[in-house]
Every structure is written in structure tokens, then in C-alpha cells.
Amino acid sequence: MKKNVVCVGAHPDDEMPCAGTLAKMAKQGHNVYICCVTNGDKGYFDLSVSAEELAARRLEELKAAAKVIGAKDFVDLGYLDGEVLLTPSLRADITKNIRKWKASVVFTHDPWRTTEASLDHINVGLMTCHVGVYSGFPHFHSEQLKDGIEPQRVEEFYLFGSSEPNFYSDITETIDQKINSRLCHESQITQALTPLDEKARQMLEQRLRRTAAICGKHIGVEYAEEFKAFSGGSGHFDWFPQGVISK
């Protein structure tokens, strides 16, 4: 059955930990969408590049990466980098996109990662989990229920960057897409708004293959990604059986 899959990330390259799985699901015919919360306007070490210039560049990079992944659509909510708080407007914005895209599968940051230091990652992950278990309740942001927007229950959650992964996804067939989509985020690789040279490209590719190969060992495949997975209950998580993402 065709699923609607939404990745909610804090920054314009945060879809990367699940890019291989998103690409695989798109290949299988599922509808894949990317929701980026911030414009990434502070992800740079050189003040000669303005925040506005960087945000515009990162939006283009996200657009290119989404295309490589095979996403049907993406949105950047335009929050400022480093300033994501647990506000009613963030809750409304994420809820609206989960409902608009009728998401039954959600990928986001693991907000309970023991070594997570980014408040953006923590708050986006936490709010997305909160929204995912409440977006099916019609009284939850009932003002949105018009123009075809309906309550939407999320059934599967996959949290990336987790310190306690319990789920592995075989991405052997989409590792190239994962690498190529990562290469779209040039401003985040060498901190230069110029095309990558061959050496930087090779180093990145080796690093991504090495990490994915370590994950792959857990399920006996060449390359994999890892997640903390939960089933979505009404207002809470349920436990997910340990396993691999197949369909």
C-alpha cells in the first residue's frame, strides 16, 4: 500500500540521516515529502556571507537534494537557525504539513538522544513526535480543518541520530542517491560557496559509505541506516517490533 512519508528536520541538510531510506521509499512508489523548519541562515563560519545570502543558498541546496531523493514536494518553514522554540506556532506549522501531506510515516530527530546539544534538533524532534500522536485528534488545531485538511494519524515514527537504535533500513540500492543528495549541500561540506573539489567529494563519499557499512553489519547488508522506531498511538507512542524497513 502506498504510504505518505514526511521527514521533518530542523536544518536544510537534516534529512541526510534518512536520505537513503527516503529515496528507497520513493523508489517503491511511496509519496515522500520533506519539511525543513529553519532556513539554516547561521550554518556558516564566515561573516562575509550574509545570513540572507546563506539562507537563499541553502534553500536551493535543499531543493536539489529533495530532487535527488525523489521527494514529491518539500517546504521550508523559514524559522531562524538556532531559534526554534516549543511555541504554538511551531506546533501549528508542523501539524498543518503532516495533515496536508496525510503523513502515515514520519522521520525526525531523536529528541532524547543522550548527546544531542542542538536545541533546534531537540525541539523539532520533540514537537514532531508530539504533533504526530495528536494530529489525528480533530480538536487539536481544529481551525486548520478546512479546504481539504483533515485530522491525520501518524502510524510509524523513525527517529534518526538516536543513541538507542532499534530499527535498520537496507539502503544498499540507494546509497548513491544518499551520497549525491548529501553532495547537494555544498555550503555545509567545505564551508565555501564554490563547487566541491574532487578530493572533498571523495572524502565525503568514503565517510558516508563507511558509516552506512557499519550500520549494514547489524542486518547483514552492505549499507543501512539506523533509527529508533515507534508505532503511533493516540496521544502516545507504542513499541515497535525490532526489525528492518522492508516496504
Residues lying near Zn ion in the complex (CB under 5 A): 10-11, 14
CA dihedral 76, 79, 81, 86 (to 10 degrees): -120
Least separation in angstroms between residue 170's CB and Zn ion is 25
Q: Which residue is nearest to Zn ion (CB)?
A: 11
Q: Which residues contact 147 (CB under 8 A, 6 or more apart)?
A: none
**Which residues are bridge partners to 36 per DSSP?**
9, 76
Nearer CB in complex with Zn ion: 14/170:
14
Shortest reach from residue 155's CB to Zn ion, in Å: 26
Q: How far apart are CA 200 and CA 115, in angstroms?
A: 27
In the complex with Zn ion, the residue whose CB is nearer, 4 or 21, is: 21
Q: Which is nearer to Zn ion, 9 or 136 (CB)?
A: 9
Query: Based on CB atoms, which residue is closest to Zn ion, 160 or 168?
Result: 160
Contact residues for 101 (Cβ-Cβ < 8 A; gap 6+) = 4, 6, 31, 33, 73
CA distance 210 to 189: 17
Helix (H) or strand (E) holding 73: strand 73-79
- Please tell me whether residue 227 adopts helix, strand or coil conformation: strand
The nearest distance, CB 54 to Zn ion, in angstroms, is 14
User: 14 vs 156, which CB is nearer to Zn ion?
Assistant: 14
List all residues 6 or more positions away from 47 whose beta carbon is below 8 Å from its beta carbon: none
Per DSSP, the chain holds a count of helices (H) and strands (E) of 6, 9
- Cβ proximity to Zn ion: between 3 and 42 the closer is 42
What's the min distance (Å) between Cβ of 101 and Zn ion? 21
Shortest distance, position 183 Cβ to Zn ion, whole Å:
17
Taking the complex as a whole, how short is the minimal distance between the CB of residue 14 and Zn ion, in angstroms?
4
